């Protein structure tokens, strides 16, 4: 059922996703557009590389919050549209809102449609829809990052952990959630194509969270 409330929620989800956290933070506090440096990406990882840990963490948390908030707009739409909370219909609507938010992050109207790769916003979406799956993704991300120091590889592995964990560990019965998980894998592979090429060539940059890089 389409209503003014459901349409408004979809628009709001896109606008939430379109907030160019890395761009605005970099320009406001450092006089830098992060898209002009590093990987040229308006995301948390490039912010870490260009501006440092504190702004990188801030961007990551806000981008996660964007996806989480967009999905939770479903709670304000009404049962006639979303169905009962935790029902398949409700989860489907949350997924729709989350996908729109991720599209906003990838193609932000507030930043000339040049956005980030959407990993943090995707995680916020997963956190809102299935927090248990989100925990699995975090564990995989942290283990891979601590082992390899590659954020891109950690993001890819965490993305694949979502559908695998949802199906084999959590054994969800919501088919749309599984389909979404597969789409997440494909999206991450597409947005990280250049990273994969650099990884295969041994040219991908590493991120050292707890100590400085040794010269």
Same domain, 162 and 86: no
Return the axis-axis angle of helices 4-18 and 53-72, rounded to nearest 10°. 170
> Which domain range does residue 158 map to?
129-206
pLDDT (tens digit per residue) in 152-183 = 999 999 999 999 998 888 888 778 888 888 98
Question: CA dihedral in degrees (79, 93, 181, 72; nearest 10)?
Answer: -80
Q: Is 32 helix (H, G, I), strand (E, B) or coil?
A: coil
Same domain, 135 and 191: yes
Last residue of a domain, one of 124, 146, 174: 124
Same domain, 43 and 142: no
Last residue of a domain, one of 61, 96, 124: 124
Domain assignment present for residue 215? The answer is no
Confidence at 54, pLDDT banded by 50, 70, 90? very high
Same domain, 40 and 145: no
Question: What domain count does the chain have?
Answer: 2
Residue 141, pLDDT > 60, answer yes
pTM, 2 dp = 0.86
Residue 212, pLDDT > 60, answer no
Residue 107, pLDDT > 80, answer yes
Sequence-separated (6 or more) residues with CB below 8 Å from residue 199: 150, 152, 153
pLDDT (tens digit per residue) in 4-30 = 878 889 999 999 999 999 999 999 999
Last residue of a domain, one of 77, 100, 124: 124
Average pLDDT value over all residues in the chain = 89
Same domain, 198 and 144: yes
């Amino acid at each position: 059922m389409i209503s003014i409330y459901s349409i408004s929620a979809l628009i709001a989800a896109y606008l939430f996703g379109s907030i160019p956290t890395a761009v605005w933070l970099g320009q406001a506090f450092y006089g830098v557009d992060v898209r002009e440096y590093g990987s040229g990406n308006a995301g948390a990882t490039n912010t870490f590389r260009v501006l440092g840990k504190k702004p990188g963490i801030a961007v990551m948390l806000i981008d996660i919050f964007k996806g989480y908030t967009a999905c939770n707009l479903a709670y304000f739409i009404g049962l006639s549209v979303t169905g009962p909370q935790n029902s398949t219909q409700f989860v489907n609507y949350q997924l729709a809102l989350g996908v729109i938010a991720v599209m906003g992050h990838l193609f932000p109207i507030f930043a000339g449609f040049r956005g980030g790769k959407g990993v943090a916003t995707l995680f916020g979406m997963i956190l809102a829809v299935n927090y248990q799956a989100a925990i699995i993704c975090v564990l995989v991300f942290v283990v891979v990052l601590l082992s390899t120091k590659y954020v891109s590889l950690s993001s890819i592995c965490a993305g694949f952990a979502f559908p695998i964990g949802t199906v084999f560990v959590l054994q969800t019965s919501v088919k749309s959630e599984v389909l979404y998980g597969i789409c997440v894998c494909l999206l991450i592979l597409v947005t990280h194509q250049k990273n994969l090429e650099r990884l295969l060539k041994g040219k991908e940059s590493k991120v050292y969270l707890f100590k400085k890089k040794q010269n």
